[in-house]
Structure 1
Amino acid sequence: MGKVLIIGAGGVGTVVVKKCAQLPEVFTDIMLASRTLSKVERIAQDTEKRFGVKIKTAQVDADNVQALVQLFNSFQPDLVINVALPYQDLPIMDACLEYGVHYLDTANYEPKEEAKFEYSWQWAYQDRFKQKGLMALLGCGFDPGATQAFTAHAAKHHFDEIHYLDIVDCNAGDHGKAFATNFNPEINIREITQKGKYWEGGQWIEIEPMSIHKPIDYPGIGPKESYLLFHEELESLVKHFPTIKRARFWMTFGQAYITHLQVLQNVGMTRIDPVRFQGQDIIPLEFLKAVLPAPDELGENYTGETSIGCQIKGIKDGKDKTYFVWNNCSHEAAYKETGAQGVSYTTGVPAMIGAALMLKGIWMKPGVYNVEQLDPDPFMDMMNKHGLPWHEKTGVDLPHEYPN
């Protein structure tokens, strides 16, 4: 079907390469590129050993548009999958426009100097991609990504109007480390230390970081303390489903994690502004990232599972209806298949699925799109076939306060 270039050699990149390698009829030629060639080559060798598929490799600076265009000219991809850092979304999109190739990512752009998550920068590319006949698919991981497909599936098959949406994300795994983050530490810590916010009554309501929390019961796991955060798919979902009265995002954190994070914040280690040290400027959070375990090193002894889903209340045929759709993913099973832990797996598999649907022409139209704007059925069908089976319940008693 097409040649795919994957940029980024972390845990998610590892999963994307290995899932693409298992579909050679769709991904006819695969290249993996990153700033660090040794990481890329290690993943490529492991992929060939596991699946017998040869992966091309390249070194590239994803901040450098001309270096990217040069690489595109050499490999001539039909699709670029960006699983690098969110700061690099715009340079990669610029390079895709200049060369003329479709684009997919798993996380929205944010400027390096400010922990600010919003789609405005990428939505602004709509006309340029449309005019070039190119497609950009934004946020095609799990959350964002699969959670938006879940919501679109609910809207298509279960509701006339969605009124209340709670995205609930639990990682009940244990990696045995005192403190480690399941995806890029820099991005993870920036995300949870900024102010939280949720959508209600047609506006965003801002709260202090981690100030609203409560136990939520997760399937097969049980009650886990869950914290209200802002997450990027909320911005997109309330735009594309205007009947939503309230939308919130909840994520679990253990007490030890919270304590470590509070101490690091108190001593200034989560700062993203430069600090002068021994004659040079360093960013404390970037230094912290360097000393913490890398997410792609956590998989080997990781036990337990993740549970991510959407709890929805709305109207069907004039009556109130509740609906819950979710996936549970085993860290051990993910590691056995790909050599990566479950959080990387749940992000990487949807990226492969979105890419496959684009290359097959099922999800292909010029412009910039979020996942919920596309037909959820083929995506959810592929989730069941490629390692992320989903489950659903209707008429469930949801553990949230819903106004009458």
Structure 2
Amino acid sequence: MSKVLVIGAGGVGSVAVHKMAMNPGIFSHITLASRRKAKCDAIAESVKARTGVVIDTAEVDADDVEATAALIARVQPKLVVHLALPYQDLSIMEACLKAGVDYLDTANYEPRDEAKFEYGWQWAYHDRFKEAGLMALLGSGFDPGVTSVFASYIKKHLLDRIDTLDILDCNGGDHGQHFATNFNPEINIREVTAPSRHWADGEWVEGPALSHKQVFDFEAVGEKNMYLMYHEELESLAKHYPEIKRIRFWMTFGDAYLKHLEVLQNVGMTRIDPVIYEGREIIPLQFLKAVLPEPSSLGPTTHGKTNIGDIATGEKDGEQKTVYVYNICDHEDAYEETGNQAVSYTTGVPAMIGAAMMLTGKWRGEGVFNMEQFDPDPFMDMLNDHGLPWQVKELDGPLQF
């Protein structure tokens, strides 16, 4: 049983602390902190109403290393679970080193002033965490996170060698809004408008954003347009599984979403450089975030399902095989359990499970690690037990695109 400090009071943070409270044998004491304590207090009320567990709340500016380290010293957690913004990864990692505590996050670092994300900034902390005898686990969400664990499960149990890996992310939910994002709008739009990128034959292949479209029939959702994108787990999987010849990531988008996004780009609302308005600097994308619906508010109106998984081709016992490992999550079921829609649920549950892996010692190391570097089996077991059951199918052949 261990104390944990969760930083971030959005939808993912809400799901994670609800699920932690449902597992008191692992999480003996939970503190939830964010820049606005009122958001933490509202989540704490929901946790108490749904589980009977009382959690503590606190206010902290996670950009402030000293203030964050001071909070850690006061709470004395065994683990800090960072579920706020990826801009804050490095400052919270610094605070963890200062306070001598383990670290976990769900998304890799990216600077505020550049639409770029890569693991290099965080991998550079490996030696410092190792010398301190501490562990940092990166990307313990669904993608990245579960999709990397699926890959390691495939390598351990289903294929002797993986030749190609395709990660498919489909959100078949409908929230009734003309335009809204299912997680932080600023991060979502930066991600979607970045150039596409995939790994092929030992090098990165780049292309224009959203320029490569395919149709795929997703179980429980139906046929959807999906687009080739860059996503951070491609970088870590290419590093840790160098035998894979090609790794791609696909995400579905509706036509209405893309039309709105195109217009917003054309009029400059997705810019991340400052502009002068009435004598003061504003960043258009941050202003857009302020006028869009808060993702955590979409739970009551979102219906439908998500379907996210890995399709891998390779060899098993000398024969070519294609396998598909995936999860289907229902938005309404997720909301009924935690008060949050499935996009938050599919990230918050793996954050809880990753934390459980570390606190129980099932995953242990000194330094900075990605999800695929550990034994997938105990993590996969907890997915089945805690709301994200997975399925395995053998396909007739590889994807024909």
TM-score of Structure 1 vs Structure 2, range by shorter chain: over 0.9
Contact 2:195 2:230 in 1 (8 A): yes
Offset of 1:399 from its aligned partner?
3.5
In the alignment, does 2:287 pair up with 1:278?
no
Q: Which runs of 5+ in 1 are unaligned?
A: none
Q: Specify the alignment match of 1:351 in structure 2.
A: 351
CA displacement at 1:223 relative to structure 2: 1.4
State yes or no: 1:160 paired with 2:177: no
Equivalent residue, structure 2, for 1:338:
338
**1:178 matched to which residue of 2?**
178
Per-residue CA shift, 1:355-385, capped at 9, x if unaligned? 0110001111111110000000000000000
1:293 aligns with 2:293: yes
Deviation at 1:398, TM superposition (A): 4.2
Question: 1:230 aligns to what?
Answer: 230
* Residue aligned with 2:67, SS: helix
Which whole-Å CA distance do the structure 1 matches of 2:221 and 2:173 have between them? Answer: 10
Q: Which residue of 2 aligns with 1:196?
A: 196
Code of the aligned partner of 1:76 = Q
Number of the residue aligned with 1:26: 26
| Paired positions, count | 401
Letter in 1 for 2:186: E
Using the alignment, how far apart are the partners of 2:202 and 2:208 within structure 1? 20
Instruction: Please show how residues 61-100 of structure 1 align to structure 2 within 5 Å.
Output: 61-100=61-100
Deviations 1:23-77 (A, max 9, x none): 0110000000000111010000110111000010000000000000110111101
Which residue in the other structure is 1:60 paired with? 60
One-letter amino acid matched to 1:318: G
Check conservation: 2:321, 2:397, Cα contact below 8 A. no
Q: Distance in 2 between matches of 1:9 and 1:352?
A: 14
**Secondary structure at 2:300's aligned position in 1?**
coil
RMSD: 0.7
1:49 alignment partner in structure 2: 49
> Aligned pair 1:205/2:205, yes or no?
yes
Instruction: Determine what percentage of the aligned residue pairs are the same residue.
Output: 61
Residue identity in the other structure for 1:275: V
- The Cα shift of 1:395 comes to 3.9
Q: Distance in 1 between matches of 2:68 and 2:17?
A: 19
Deviation at 1:91, TM superposition (A): 0.2
AA paired with 2:185? Answer: P
Q: Distance between the aligned counterparts of 1:114 and 1:257, measured in 2? A: 23
For 2:2 and 2:53, how far apart are their aligned partners in 1? 15
Partner of 1:126: 126
TM-score by length of 2: 0.99
SS of aligned partner of 2:299: coil
What is the alpha-carbon distance in structure 2 between the residues aligned to residue 399 and residue 196 of structure 1?
Answer: 19
Alpha-carbon displacement from aligned partner over 1:95-134 (angstroms, at most 9, x marks no partner): 0001000000000000110011110000001100111110
Give the corresponding residue for 1:307: 307
Distance 2:400 2:22 in 1: 40
Whether the aligned pair in 2 keeps the contact of 1:324 and 1:396 (CA below 8 Å) is no
Counterpart for residue 148 of structure 2: 148
User: Could you tell me how far apart the structure 1 residues matched to 2:220 and 2:28 are?
Assistant: 38
Q: Which runs of 5+ in 2 are unaligned?
A: none
Tell me, in whole angstroms, the C-alpha distance in 1 between the residues paired with 2:219 and 2:399: 12
User: How far is the alpha carbon of 1:396 from its aligned partner?
Assistant: 3.5
Q: With structure 1 as the length reference, what TM-score do the two structures score?
A: 0.98
CA distance in 2, matches of 1:331, 1:247: 28
Check the 8 A contact 2:129/2:366 in 1, yes or no: yes
Q: What CA distance in whole angstroms lies between the structure 2 residues aligned with 1:151 and 1:399?
A: 17
